[in-house]
Amino acid sequence: MENKIWHGLGVSAGHAAGPTWYLKGFQAEMAGETSQGSVEEERVRLQQAVLRTEQNLTGLEEKVRAEQGEEVAQIFVAHKLLLSDPSFIGEAYQRLEKGQLNAEQVLQEVAGEAVQMLQSLEDPYFQERAVDVQDVLGQLLKNLQDVQDDVSDLFPQSGNYIVLADELTPAQTIALPKDRVLGFIVRQGGKTSHAAILARTYGIPALVGVNDGWGDLTAQKWLELDGEEGWVQASAENQVFFANTDAGEEVIFGENSLLQGMTLAANIGSPGDLPLVRKFKAQGIGLYRTEFLFMGEELPSEEDQLEAYRQVIDGCSPHLTVIRTLDIGGDKKAPALNLPQEKNPFLGVRALRLTLRRPELFRQQLRAIWRASIAGPTAVMFPMIATLGELEEAKESLWTAREEVLQAGYEIGSLQVGMMIEIPSAAWLADKFAPLVDFFSIGTNDLTQYMLAADRENPELAELNQPYHPAVLGMIARVSQAALQKGIWTGICGEAGGDPLLAPFFKAVGIEELSMAPGSLAKVRTALGKMEMSAEEQETLVKSVLACARTSEVIKVLQSSKTT
């Protein structure tokens, strides 16, 4: 009998086979009609559910921004906007006041109408946004009913699986252990669905829109799928493999390849990201964001921090791990720190400004880093530095912490000491900072935001807030040249580090490391590996870019350099 083949839309390249796991949707328990006297109670229940859902989404947004960058984080920004949408939550509150339905029923009713309206539109983009409404609805219902069904808890505790789902929400995708997911097969969705975007981000083969024969497909215990061709078929038992050409491509480069002498590293937010670091063949960790340790209800102890840092350093060895000290404030909140509200938190007491004001908290983190440094090559990096005095004070705290660790009888390794360049004052004085550190790491997200006075959280300013601006690239070139003259190295750890279009320019101005979301490593590696430029050609590229007066001109120059 011929093997049955199911077809869908291939949205993330790769080929995989293995056992299946079916993620079934959540079904809310619906109570009956409410009496007039319970309207206030239902309103409070809904209010609390909205608050908890917003907190959960903020946590996901910050986690994803740290691991995969701003573009993916915007998925959860959009979900949070639904919680303040008058036509969704506002309408739900109004219907509750009629006293005929409970919170669950009202939400189902309002969301159902929104989904029906979106699905009736001809534009596939808007049709796929119906899944966003359903995702937020599901989270609200779970919070209303105190349902704790974290997908990571439901997923089998061992083994690798192909995940089947009627719908795969962003929250579910993030929660799954990506290092044990062989592939995704989703009944609904399209090329621009968030499930598709996340599958591509994580380098997991996926196909969506598998409607015909879905019941038969979900009954299969073993499957084989091709995420590029868009097919899936029954597989022989015990046949398990995973092949993602984007993740595993070996780039053979010539003498003048731009990949020569360039380190491609990963940005991570926790030890749980190490499988992605290995999967995408990172040559180190260029940014370990430690703030996620501090975002719980209680602050981590020195031992808690030591364990996390040691895991990451050991998992990355023999490559270098760059640990950024606590960067709380701005878009990142930490309830346990009890920080006061600020009118403009991006320009307030955040990052190093905060830790210098809380010396014991700062030294505790520095002690943990010193103790963990024995596990492998380690660097510490200070964020948000504006003045020489701040750097000097931070280094003094670092040496004080070192003495405290040694006096306590612990062994330590050596540390490279670096600073982030993300404030224009530091960039302009890079030649003055360079003698005090071993390296610079340019945070292009904040540097762009501060240079162009454009809030990177404001979607209306997205066109302005981009790193292709000639002033931003000119400042990056200035910083790199100052570093080269003083004999220290410079890396890029912002969003721009994972942009294949900018990578040749960064190489040409002397940047030695690009650190990015793990899922971006393959495309940058391929772009640099396949592009050859002599020293003279690189110099010409830099001059051409820095001669531009507009962002559009820069983009044209960079695009033309790819074809020459």
Instruction: Report, as residue numbers or ranges, the catalytic residues.
Output: 194, 493
Query: Can you tell me the distance from the alpha carbon of 412 to that of 248, in angstroms, rounded to the nearest whole number?
Result: 35
Query: Residue holding tokens 């509150």?
Result: 93
Give backbone dihedrals phi and psi of 178, rounded to 5 degrees, phi first: -60, -25
445 has binding-site annotation = yes
What is the 3-state secondary structure of 173-234?
A: HHHCCHHHEEEEEECCCCCCCHHHHHHHHHCCCEEECCCCCHHHHHCCCEEEEECCCCEEEE
Q: How far is CA 510 from CA 321, 371, 479, in A?
A: 21, 33, 10
Is 465 among the annotated ligand-binding positions? no
Q: Is 3 one of the annotated binding-site residues?
A: no
Residue 94 tokens, joined: 């109004």
393 is in an annotated binding site: no
Give the separation between CA 126 and CA 419, rounded to whole angstroms: 43
Angle (nearest 5°) at CA 25 between 188 and 57: 90
φ, ψ for residue 98, nearest 5 deg: -70, -20
- The alpha carbon of 384 is separated from its chain's Cα centroid by a whole number of angstroms, namely 20
For residue 291, say whether it is annotated as part of any ligand binding site: no
Gap between the Cα atoms of 73 and 79, Å rounded? 10
Q: Half-sphere exposure (CA, 13 Å, Cβ side) for 494?
A: 25
**324 labelled binding-site residue:** yes
State the Cα–Cα distance between residues 533 and 545, nearest whole angstrom.
Answer: 15
Give the residue among 109, 127, 103 at the shortest CA–CA distance from 43.
Answer: 103
Please tell me the number of Cα atoms within 13 Å of 192 on its side-chain side: 9
Q: What is the dihedral of CA 506, 507, 511, 517, to 10 degrees?
A: 70
CB 467 within 8 A of CB 495: yes
Which ranges of 274-412 does DSSP label H, i.e. alpha helix? 274-279, 302-316, 352-357, 359-372, 388-407
Measuring CA to CA, which residue among 305, 244, 328, 317 is closest to residue 274? 317
Helices (H) and strands (E) in the chain, counts: 23, 17
CA 33, distance to chain mean position in Å, is 43
Q: How far is CA 141 from CA 33, 45, 125, 234, in A?
A: 17, 11, 25, 35
Longest dimension (CA), the chain: 80
Helix or strand (DSSP H, E) at 49: helix 39-68
Residue numbers belonging to the annotated binding site for Mg(2+): 422, 446
* Binding-site annotation, residues: 289, 324, 422, 445-446, 456
The annotation places the binding site for phosphoenolpyruvate at 289, 324, 445-446, 456
